[in-house]
Structure 1
Amino acid sequence: MADVARLAGVSSQTVSRVSNGFPGVTEETRRQVLAAMRELHYRPNSAARALRRGEFRTLGVITFSLATMGNIRTLEAIATSAAQQGYAVTLLPVAVPTQDEVNGAFSRLGELAVDAVIVIMEVHLLDAATVSLPPGVQVVVADSDAGDRYTVVDTDQAGGARDAVRHLLSLGHETVWHLAGPEDSFAAQRRANAWRATLVEAGRVPPAPVRGDWSAESGYRAGLRIAEQAGCTAVFVANDQMALGLLRALHERGLRVPEDVSVVGFDDIPEAASFLPPLTTIRQDFAEVGRLCVEGVVGEMRRGGAGHGTTIVPTVLVRRESTAPPPVAP
């Protein structure tokens, strides 16, 4: 810094202000300092900055799955939003959702230089963690039922499921089958509960749900069972990837979509519009979830941890060609 100051003809304090982006420096002086930095290949020492400021400008992200489209898109949005606010992201994927793995992730975060943590996992794993984060490290939970224990950002899981079921009922279907996600998933449970409640409110009998694991392959296997159910004319699927597998299974069993069976997914992944037929689905705003996670955790740091609460991001029904009125009985 002293070398830069001498070359630019300014004080070390001025170099520091330019390096940290502080105001109070004329544009001409700023250009001189930046030119001197480039000439001397000067790079500010981020570790020294962190020690001086008491912050590392880094957010930790813990997630137990990088295989689902939802987690990938949420993570992408978190990284983008963090960069816009001047933060780096340290990712700690949990290989399998066990307590030992979660404890290990929290232990590693405690050893790393992070100011806050965004958690993309079911809250029962977070609550059972026996490792404490360092004092002052704030936590925001994405897509989880964390109540008032943490700041939470979540998609309107129940509202999206209600819209899917009501859309199918409005087309004239007597009832709606459900291809659900894993039992230990909060999002899957919220969607399944809303599916069932919406049918009951409409005076319809909910069929027994069929479960998958979010993958297209599990949707295919479940779809083979659904295709055998007499009178099944409509299916609400807990995510688009399983819906893709279901479409294949129905096709193999000689059932046309939507002429014989209507299908609604959940997520609106980029490929959903290119399914055959294009998939009617519930759109999640992953970019908004990621942005609000970063905004929430940065806000917590500034408030010193006050203000826990839940922010719900609305969903939208996207109508395409996979839904239609039920077939007319002969």
Structure 2
Amino acid sequence: MADVARVAGVSPQTVSRVSNGYPGVVESTRDRVLTAMRELGYRPNSAARALKSGRFRMIGVILFTLSTTGNMRTLDAIATSAAREGYAITLIPVAVPTQDSVRGAFTRLGELAVDAVVAIMEVHLLDAATVSLPPGAPVVVVDSKAGDRYSVVDTDQAEGARQAVQHLLDLGHRTVWHVAGPEDSFAAQGRADGWRTTLKGSGREVPPVLHGDWSAESGYEMGLRVAAERDCTAVFVANDQMALGVQRALHEQGRAVPRDVSIVGFDDIPEAGSYMPPLTTVHQDFDEVGRRCVASALRQVQTDSHERGTTLVPTWLVVRNSTAPPSDDPLRGS
């Protein structure tokens, strides 16, 4: 660092400010320092900086699966938001969702030296009595009920479901069937609760819940069951991928969308507008979820504190061509 300062004609403190990315350095001075670094082959020692500052500028991310759209888009948003703040992420996938595997993931993150942890997984895997957290590292949980123990950031699942169901009821459908996600998923539970509460609040019959596993294949299987219910004119599906499977099943059984059955999905994946017909769906703001996760994590790191409570990110309904009034409604025409 002294050599860089001598070549650039600045103080070692200025070199330190430039290498750490601090503001307040004149641009021409910053350019001279960076040029001197390149000429001398100087690279800041991140390990030494971490020892001095007590910060690693690293956020650990633990998640159960990379295969779902929600997890992938949330992870991408977290990585992007962290990079804007000068942080990198270390990813620890949990292949099998058990307490032992989660405990092992936290242990590995502790060994890798992270400033904070973002966990994208269900609350039953985060039992504070058995999971060993990295000492002093704040934790932010995505998609969970753990707000009494951690900082939680989640999409407003119930409100999104309410918007979907109310849209179908406003079109004139007598009730709305539901293809839900896995029974042990908090997101699926939240969406199912919103569906059920909206129907009950409107005095409508509540059909039995059909459970898929988030995949288009499971949506197809549940769609065959929906198609067999001849009085079903509307279905709310807990994610867009399953909605694609439901559409296929209905088509194969001769029930047109939306003429015979209207469909609303959840997620608003980039392909939703290219479904046939284009899918009406609930939009999740994954970028905002990622931004708030990183903001909470860094706020805790910078203040040396631990936050609790739940932050809900709003959703909104995107209306496309997969929904319409029921075929016996006069608004439909011939």
Asked if these proteins are the same fold (TM beyond 0.5), I'd say yes
What is the aligned-residue RMSD (CA, Å)? 1.6
Q: Is it true that 1:328 corresponds to 2:328 in the alignment?
A: yes
Structure 1 residue runs without a partner (length 5+): none
1:224–1:24 CA distance, 2 compared to 1 (3 A): closer
Check if 1:103 corresponds to 2:71: no
C-alpha distance 208-131 of structure 1, shift in aligned 2 (>3 A): closer
Range 173-182 or range 305-314, more displaced: 305-314
In 2, the alpha carbon distance for the partners of 1:219 and 1:9 equals: 66
Deviates more, 1:302-311 or 1:238-247: 302-311
Contact 2:150–2:307 under 8 Å retained in 1: no
Partner in structure 2 of residue 170 of structure 1 = 170
Instruction: Report the Cα distance in structure 2 between the residues aligned to 1:12 and 1:121, rounded to whole angstroms.
Output: 45
Determine if contact 1:103/1:129 at 8 Å carries over to the other structure.
no
Q: Superposed, which structure 2 residues align to 1:170-249 within 5 Å?
A: 170-249=170-249
Report the secondary structure of 2:114's partner residue: coil
Give the direction of change, closer, same or farther, for the CA distance of 1:22–1:284 in structure 2 (3 Å limit): closer
- Residue 12 of structure 2 corresponds to 12
Aligned residues: 330
Distance change (3 Å), C-alpha of 1:262 and 1:20: same
The 10-residue stretch of structure 1 (101-110 or 50-59) with the greater mean CA deviation from structure 2? 101-110
The residue aligned with 2:116 is 116
Residue type matched to 1:5 in 2?
Answer: A
Q: Please tell me the residue identity of whatever aligns with 2:145.
A: D
| Cα distance, 1:28–1:177 mapped onto 2, change above 3 Å | closer
Which residue number in structure 1 is paired with residue 71 of structure 2?
71
AA in 1 matched with 2:295:
E
* 1:205, distance to aligned residue in structure 2 (A): 1.1
Whether the 8 Å CA contact 1:142–1:153 is kept in 2: the answer is: yes
Amino acid at match of 1:281: T
Structure 1 CA distance for aligned equivalents of residues 230 and 303 of structure 2: 57
**Structure 1's 24 and 214: CA in aligned 2 closer, same or farther, altered over 3 A?**
closer
Offset of 1:129 from its aligned partner?
6.5
Query: What's 2:142 paired with?
Result: 142
SS in 1 for 2:207: coil
Deviation at 1:193, TM superposition (A): 1.2
Assess, with a 3 A threshold, how the Cα gap between structure 1 residues 17 and 238 changes in structure 2: closer, same or farther: same
Partner of 2:80: 80
AA of the residue aligned to 2:7? L
Counterpart residue type for residue 80 of structure 2: T
What are the ranges of 5 or more consecutive residues in structure 2 without an aligned counterpart?
A: none
Matched-pair contact (CA < 8 Å) for 1:164–1:236: yes
* Whole-angstrom distance in 2 between the partners of 1:108 and 1:187: 27
Cα shift at 1:24: 5.7
- 1:56-90 deviation per Cα after TM superposition (whole angstroms, max 9, x unaligned): 00000001011110110010000000000000000
**1:126 aligned to 2:131?**
no
Letter of the aligned partner of 2:126 in structure 1?
L
Question: Helix, strand or coil: the match of 2:126?
Answer: helix
SS at match of 1:227: helix
- Kindly tell me: are residues 254 and 24 of structure 1, through their superposed partners in 2, closer, same or farther at Cα, counting changes over 3 Å? closer
Q: Secondary structure at the match of 2:271?
A: helix
Cα gap change, 1:106/1:23 in structure 2, threshold over 3 Å: closer, same or farther? closer
> Quick one: which amino acid aligns to residue 144 of structure 2?
S
Aligned residue type for 1:286: F
Tell me how far 1:98 sits from its aligned partner: 1.5
CA deviation map 1:146-191 (0-9, x unaligned):
1321111110100010111111111111110000000000010111
Q: Work out the CA distance in 2 between the residues paired with 1:187 and 1:21.
A: 39
What is the distance in 1 between the residues matched to 2:107 and 2:140? Answer: 17
Q: Which residue type is aligned with residue 121 of structure 1?
A: M
Counterpart of 1:137 in 2: which secondary structure?
A: coil
Q: Does 1:45 align with 2:56?
A: no
CA distance in 2, matches of 1:307, 1:315: 24
Deviation at 1:202, TM superposition (A): 0.9
Counterpart position of 2:295: 295
Q: Which moved more, 1:11-20 or 1:237-246?
A: 11-20
TM-score by length of 1: 0.96
Deviation at 1:25, TM superposition (A): 4.3
Please report the TM-score for the alignment, with normalisation by the length of structure 2. 0.95
Question: CA contact under 8 A between 2:119 and 2:142: conserved in structure 1?
Answer: yes
**Distance (Å, rounded) in 1 between the aligned partners of 2:232 and 2:27:** 70
1:237-277 Cα deviation digits (max 9, x unpaired): 00000000000000000100000000000000000000000
Inter-partner Cα distance in structure 1 for 2:129 and 2:212: 27
Q: Is the 8 A contact 1:107 1:131 kept in 2?
A: no
Do the aligned residues in 2 keep the contact of 1:99 with 1:128 (CA within 8 Å)?
Answer: no
Give the aligned partner of residue 272 of structure 1: 272
Structure-to-structure mapping, 1:276-287, within 5 angstroms:
276-287=276-287
Residues 56/142 of structure 1: CA separation in 2 closer, same or farther (3 Å cut): same
Alpha-carbon distance in structure 1 between the residues aligned to 2:48 and 2:18: 16
Q: Distance in 2 between the 1:320 and 1:214 partners?
A: 21
Task: Give 1:107's aligned amino acid.
Answer: T
Distance in 2 (CA, whole Å) between partners of 1:167 and 1:242 is: 19
Summarize deviations over 1:9-62 as a string: whole Å, max 9, x none: 333333222212335644443322211111122111111100100010000000
SS in 2 for 1:127: coil
